[in-house]
Amino acid sequence: MDKENLSVWTSIPFWRRSAAWVTGFAVMLLIWLSFDTLGQISMGSDEDLKNGITKRVPGPTVINYEIDYKMSEKRGGEVPVIGKKELFFGKEWSEQEAADLLHLGKLTSQAKNCMNCHTLLGNGGYYAPDLTKAWLDPAWREGGPLQGMTGKNTKEEAMAEFLMHPSQYPTHARMMPDLGITAEEAKGLVAFLKHMSSIDTNGFPRNFSKTVEQFTAGGTNAR
């Protein structure tokens, strides 16, 4: 078909050139968008948090703040809302301490292979609950069944206790195995989870735990 060249539609050079141009264009557009995205998802700083500047991925010291997940009418979904300061494991963490703790937590999440049962930001295994907004799960709140089960008084302590001895706190027939998580690693993991819950995920998961009232009422809306 090269030689005869009856029509452009059966011409190999035409399709080869088109393939090269289309691929080149797609790659250039991807690289350009990637630069923009990388800027937008780089971690914010402690200064940003202090000055109330909203970042898609806040800095590690976000663990010193209350985090909520509220419906934004403008965005059409829920967005994380960083509120006033709160203690985390009974103290306020300096910039360096918070960064170190998040580092330990993220490393531990990989070392313990969390992602092959759970999903993080919705990616991973489908054997255990999504952890994207686990920090905000009402079950860990004061009065929630998971916090109550561990006998601890704060959300972070309850989560850390569970992570260290998961098979001592069975909630369902399907349980989390004991992965030998130390007390420090557990703190790190909770910091990692709290940090992840502050990331702007464009409204995923939607209507997070909207049934909390129904849930506390024993699984029904009937009054």
Partner 1 sequence: MLASIKSNHLQSESKKLGMMYFRVAIILFGAQLLMGLIAATQFLVPGFLFEIFDFSVARMVHINALVVWMLYAMLGAVYYMIPDETGMETVGVGLGKLAFWVLTAAVTIVVLVYIFIQVGSGSESTIWLINEGREYLEAPRWADIGIVVVVLVFYWNVFATFMKGQKTGIMTVMVANLMALAGLYLAGMFYTDNISMDQFWWWWVIHLWVEATWEVFVGTLAAYALIKIINAKREIVEMWLWIEVLMLFGSGILGLGHHYFWIGTPEYWWEIGALFSALEPVPLVAMFVHVLYDWGKEQGVAEQEGHRNVMRNGPAMAWIVANAFGNFLGAGVWGFFHTLPQVNIYTHGTQFTAAHGHLAFFGAYATILIGMMYLGLQGAYGIKTLKATFKSKMGIVLIISGVLGMTVALTIAGYEQVLVERAELGAGWNAFFAAQELPWYVQAQTWRTIMGVVTFVGFVYLVWDLLTIGKQARLAQQAEA
Between CA 91 and CA 7 the distance in angstroms is: 75
Nearer to partner 1, 57 or 81 (CB): 57
Q: How far is the CB of 98 from partner 1 (least distance, A)?
A: 11
Nearer to partner 1, 84 or 116 (CB): 116
Q: How far is the CB of 51 from partner 1 (least distance, A)?
A: 20
CA contacts within 13 A on the Cβ side of 128: 20
Between CA 19 and CA 218 the distance in angstroms is: 60
Nearer to partner 1, 16 or 50 (CB): 16
**Helix, strand, coil fractions of the chain, as percent rounded to 5:** 50, 10, 40
SS3 for 122-133 is CEECCCCCECCC
Q: How far is the CB of 83 from partner 1 (least distance, A)?
A: 20
Nearer to partner 1, 122 or 151 (CB): 122
Q: How far is the CB of 173 from partner 1 (least distance, A)?
A: 5
